[in-house]
Amino acid sequence: MKAEFKALFDSILEGRKDDVPGQVQNALDGGIEPEVILNDSMIPAMAEVGRLFEKGGYFVPEMLISARAMQTGLGMLKPYLKASGVEPIGKVVIGTVEGDLHDIGKNLVIIMCEGAGFEVIDLGVDVKPEIFIESVQSVQPHIVALSALLTTTMPNVKVCIDAMRDAGVLRLVKVMVGGAPITAESAKQLGADGFAPDASQAATLARTYVA
């Protein structure tokens, strides 16, 4: 990794969000293209966060701290990326299914997917199937991510997927699911294309759908 990116990489990895703005600005002032800053420093940092999380070196608090640092830098870069016409690698529509008000897991998935280069449209919690359907029609995402954190709301994942199928939009997207009560086996039974047990693996799975 280039020396000018090492400090930014380390700041995101270690969650030092107060250091990130100055490092991003220094890179921009040095004539480095915003997409290069993103792809050569920030995304690799979040990939390393994900690797450490999967291996048990990082836990949710460390991931959250790193994610906040990433979001700080991403917030600075977004206007430059948009102005230079840089496109995200894909679009993800995400929400917690109807009847479920939990959002911590969903928010982690958003952060990791943004860190992987996706544009993420967050529908929030307690999202009715028709809202997902309308979002697929209007946003035209590559992926719909459904979250359910309760055993009692897990059946609503199937309700949502079935509604998308009936509306004719399911064929347009890949559906991935996650949440405490969901397993790889139950994800198949619910009709999903894929399952991720945590936010890091959700981002990895999402990337396979746009490869």
Q: Does 5 have pLDDT greater than 70? A: yes
Q: Please report how many Cα atoms fall inside a 13 Å half-sphere around the Cα of residue 140, on the Cβ side.
A: 0
Q: How far apart are CA 129 and CA 135, in angstroms?
A: 10
Chain segment 29-79, per-residue pLDDT in tens: 999 999 899 889 998 999 899 889 889 999 888 988 998 899 899 899 988
Q: Which long-range contacts (CB under 8 A, 24 or more apart) does 191-197 make?
A: 191/158, 191/161, 191/162, 191/165, 192/146, 192/157, 192/161, 196/109
Averaged pLDDT of the chain? 93
Q: Please report how many Cα atoms fall inside a 13 Å half-sphere around the Cα of residue 142, on the Cβ side.
A: 15
pLDDT band at 150 (very low <50, low <70, confident <90, very high): very high
Rg of the chain on CA atoms, in Å: 17
Q: How far apart are CA 73 and CA 9, in angstroms?
A: 11
In sequence order, which ranges of 56-192 are alpha helices (DSSP H)? 60-83, 104-115, 129-139, 155-166, 184-190
Domains and CATH numbers, the chain: 3-83 (1.10.1240.10), 91-210 (3.40.50.280)
Chain segment 104-131, per-residue pLDDT in tens: 889 889 988 988 889 999 999 999 999 9
Q: How far apart are CA 123 and CA 9, in angstroms?
A: 30
pTM, rounded to two decimals: 0.80
CB 144 within 8 A of CB 178: no
Of 170, 166, 209, residue with least CA distance to 192: 170
Residue 81 has what pLDDT? 85
Residue 1 has what pLDDT? 63
The token pair at 43 is 């995304």
The token pair at 133 is 């359907």
Q: Which long-range contacts (CB under 8 A, 24 or more apart) does 187-195 make?
A: 189/158, 190/154, 190/157, 190/158, 190/161, 191/158, 191/161, 191/162, 191/165, 192/146, 192/157, 192/161
